[in-house]
Amino acid sequence: MIDERHEELASLYVLDLLEAAERAAFEQELRSSQELAGLVRELEVSAAALGSSITPVAPPARVKAAILDEIKLPGESEKVVPFVRSSVIAWALAAGFALLAGIETKERLNMYDQYMQTRSASVKLAQEKNQLQTEIAKLESENHFSQLKIATLGALVDTYAKGSVVVLWDEQKQTGVIKVTNMPPPAADRDYQLWVVDSTYPQPVSAGIFRVEASGMVRAEFHPVKPIHKATTFAISIEQKGGVPQHKGPIIMAGQ
Amino acid sequence: MNQESDPALELDLSLMARIQAGDRAAFTEFYDLHSGKLFGLICSILQDSREAEDVLQEAFVYLWKQAATYQPERGKPLSWVILIFRHKAIDRVRARARQHRLVEQAAAEPIPTLSEEGAADEGALRDERREIVRDALSKMPADQREAIQFAFFRGLSQMQISENLGLPLGTVKARIRRGLLKLRQSLKGKL
């Protein structure tokens, strides 16, 4: 049973009316009382409802343009890369994997990895992209390859800013490869889980869990649990050990 | 309107999951769906449309970066988002007040909560939920309604609310508590 004093504190808390010390003390109580936390959640809904009582006002179009411009990542890959085209699909996939393996051995693609670790060397990325496009054009001209997608995932949480993840996806074969470097191991009772965003489905589709080696690296093949029609985004979340059918934990990396 | 069969809620949950995965198309759709409500809210708090544009932009970029922290079991996406945007606007009010000592002037302005002022495309943006909330507010004792609206939209401290309403601090706190609990009761199962 929550007394009036705590109802009052909860009301003032959701309206940002507690002083810093009161707020800290109340948050301490919140952590130890599920009942109080439940009341706060309900009062937050009521407070938010106050916000929705306001008559909408359409913002100027320039605001939307500015927001979309601001959230654009430097050098972010936005489109499916028409990597290889072939009548021999299996060979094409193998060729794609070989190209991914090449990332480990070719100096310029090592530079590409470094970019992903820091996410700051946009000029280098542009140069690398140009080199890759040149190589792709050359491969296309040979007309040996099918269409693959490469996605580079960026960290959404600072802890993983040094992590580097590349996903190679073959939509026709419905299989892919993930290459991870510099990722810290998750807590003992957690796993990393890979997700594929496909607008066909309301929720991201699980592509399975993976575990990094002590070196922070892993390279693994994956198969999403549902047919993927158009993969727009790949993401990694931290989930309970063994994974979950629908993501619940925080998304830590994502990319298109 | 119950939660399990609410298509608007389902859409919000779906969009939020995609936003968490870094899907910009979902973010754009969420913006198109809700920016009118959120801009209206920020305008009503700041009373300055140009400054409200800044805060709207800042808040949407914050939403994009912090979407991963949203947990569906903690509540509805739109409730979470509204409180974030309100918080951003209140932060701006408090910063402005610190800089220009405009708190008293702002407090003297009328509360726009239930009026139609500032409406843009009301026909296109009509929202059944808004009517439900307004109905609940209209049935609330006026002193409680005034207290929670003042607290929600003004960005003042408890003491400043007390001074502006000319009421003892204990009375203000009690009215806020009773008002918010009454609103919770009135809206239960309707949103």
Q: Return the residue of B nearest to A78 by Cα.
A: B24
Higher-scoring residue by pLDDT: A158, A246: A246
Name which of B44, B39, B34, B15 is nearest B129 in CA terms. Answer: B34
Higher-scoring residue by pLDDT: A167, A128: A167
Residue from A57, A67, A70, A236 to probe the interface with B (highest B Cβ count within 10 Å): A57
Confidence at residue A135, expressed as pLDDT on a 0 to 100 scale:
59
pLDDT at A117 over 70: no
Query: Residue A127: pLDDT band by 50, 70, 90 thresholds?
Result: low
pLDDT at A28 over 50: yes
Query: Residue A78: pLDDT band by 50, 70, 90 thresholds?
Result: very low
Q: Could you give the percent of chain B with pLDDT greater than 70?
A: 81
Residue B173: CA atoms inside 13 Å, Cβ hemisphere, count? 17
Residue-wise pLDDT tens digits, B9-59: 889 999 999 999 889 999 999 999 999 999 999 999 998 888 999 999 999
pLDDT at B119 over 80: no
Q: Return the residue of B nearest to A71 by Cα.
A: B61
Q: Contacts of residue A195 in chain B, CB cutoff 8 Å?
A: 21
A49:B187 CB<8 A: yes
Distance (Å) from the C-alpha of residue A81 to the closest C-alpha of chain B?
A: 18
- Of A2-11, A142-151, A157-166, B143-152, minimum mean pLDDT range: A142-151
B24:A256 CB<8 A: yes
ipTM reported for the complex, 2 dp: 0.80
**Residue among A4, A11, A248 minimizing CB distance to B176:** A11
**Residue among B25, B40, B82 minimizing CB distance to A56:** B40
